[in-house]
Structure 1
Amino acid sequence: MILKVFKEKSNQKYINKLLSARHVAVSNTKMSTVGVILNTSEFSDFEAFRSFFKSLGLQQAKTKIIAFVEDSKDSNELWDTYFNPKDFGWKGKINNIDLQTFIDTKFDVLISFYKANHLELNLITALSNANFKVGLTNQDARLYDLMIDVKPNEFSVFKEELKKYLTVLNKL
């Protein structure tokens, strides 16, 4: 139990280091690749995101959705990739190859669709090489370039707001 607390402190310190060194350089290019991070305890409808991206004209091959589950027994085979707290080591080390691939992918837009303040979710958002990061309002505003204040169960409102802001920012 004590080691878990030290591990969390180590990872939080690593997140703070990443965010303080982050240089925001959002390009003006159109959106063609999108990554989504979900917390399954808040929202787990992958198909809602897939149909939304299809309506925006994005190919399914250009989108990647990953899900955070508290326990690996709760996973679903239909999901693209899922991860749990056991996939993280000390000082931000990632022990999951699929998760590391997601982080290293240079998405045009990353959507962090969770409201809860989970250390693991925040770490993935901070580590991501995405050009433009969108998230629901969270305790740490340094994680995102654009924050939309909706609850995870209000997906239709989120879709409208995201589409509106992406249009204004010339991403669509």
Structure 2
Amino acid sequence: MFLKFFKNLSAKRIVKKKALNVTTDISPNRIQTVGVLIDETYFEHKHDFIKLLIEYGFLPENISVLAYKKAYKKKEEVNYPHFSKKDVSWMGNIDKEDVVYFKAQPFDLLINYYDLKKTPLVIVTHSSKANFKVGFSSVDKRLNHFMIDTKVENYQLFTEELFKYLKILNKI
């Protein structure tokens, strides 16, 4: 227990030392590929949220999802890319294959669907190769290019606002 606390503290310090500033280079291209980083600890409507993105016009084969949960139960069957707090090293790295693959993808849009600043989620968001990052305004403002002020539970409103502004920005 005591070691877990120091492991988390060490990872947080390393993330703070890294420059969390988002590059201002935003591609003028339209959005084709979408990455979705979801905190499943409190948000359980992942499939409904993905269906809503498909209804708004994104192709299912162009949407990649990575889910985070503080801890997965041993007998819990998970058939999608995921990671947990135990996958974070002392140095703030996540070497799980699903996460490494997700971070390396050059998504046109990365949707950071979490509203609490958690070290593993911040690490993935910061090291992602996405061109345009969208998230909640309650998280560190240096992580995302565009922030929406709403609650996580209201994914319909989040999606409406997202697509409204993507149309204004001529991204879709």
TM over 0.5: yes
Q: Give the match for residue 83 of structure 1.
A: 83
Q: CA deviation at 1:2?
A: 4.1
Asked if the contact 1:46/1:65 (under 8 Å) is kept, the reply is no
Q: Give the match for residue 129 of structure 1.
A: 129
Unaligned runs of 5+ in 2: none
Asked if the contact 2:36/2:64 (under 8 Å) is kept, the reply is yes
Deviations 1:57-115 (A, max 9, x none): 2221111111111212185535x211111111122221310111001111111111111
Q: Give the match for residue 65 of structure 1.
A: 65
Aligned length: 171
Q: Give the match for residue 110 of structure 2.
A: 110
Equivalences for 1:137-148 in 2 at 5 Å?
137-148=137-148
Q: Give the match for residue 162 of structure 1.
A: 162
Which secondary structure does the structure 2 equivalent of 1:72 belong to?
coil
Q: Give the match for residue 5 of structure 2.
A: 5
Supply the distance in 2 between the matched residues of 1:145 and 1:22 (Cα, whole angstroms): 7
| 1:152/1:76 CA distance change after superposition, 3 Å | farther
Q: CA deviation at 1:136?
A: 0.9
Supply the distance in 2 between the matched residues of 1:12 and 1:29 (Cα, whole angstroms): 34
| 1:134/1:22 CA distance change after superposition, 3 Å | closer
Q: CA deviation at 1:6?
A: 3.3
Q: Give the match for residue 28 of structure 1.
A: 28
Supply the distance in 2 between the matched residues of 1:157 and 1:97 (Cα, whole angstroms): 33
**Counterpart residue type for residue 166 of structure 2:** L
**Counterpart residue type for residue 141 of structure 1:** K
Q: CA deviation at 1:170?
A: 1.2
How big is the alpha-carbon RMSD for the aligned residues of Structure 1 and Structure 2? 1.9
Identity of aligned residues (%): 33
Q: List 4+ stretches of structure 1 deviating above 4 A.
A: none
Q: CA deviation at 1:20?
A: 4.3
Asked if the contact 2:107/2:129 (under 8 Å) is kept, the reply is yes
Flag the structure with higher helix content. Answer: 1
Length-normalised TM-score, structure 2? 0.89
Supply the distance in 2 between the matched residues of 1:14 and 1:133 (Cα, whole angstroms): 22
| 1:43/1:21 CA distance change after superposition, 3 Å | closer
Which secondary structure does the structure 1 equivalent of 2:124 belong to?
helix
Q: Give the match for residue 48 of structure 1.
A: 48
Bigger shift: residues 97-106 or 2-11: 2-11
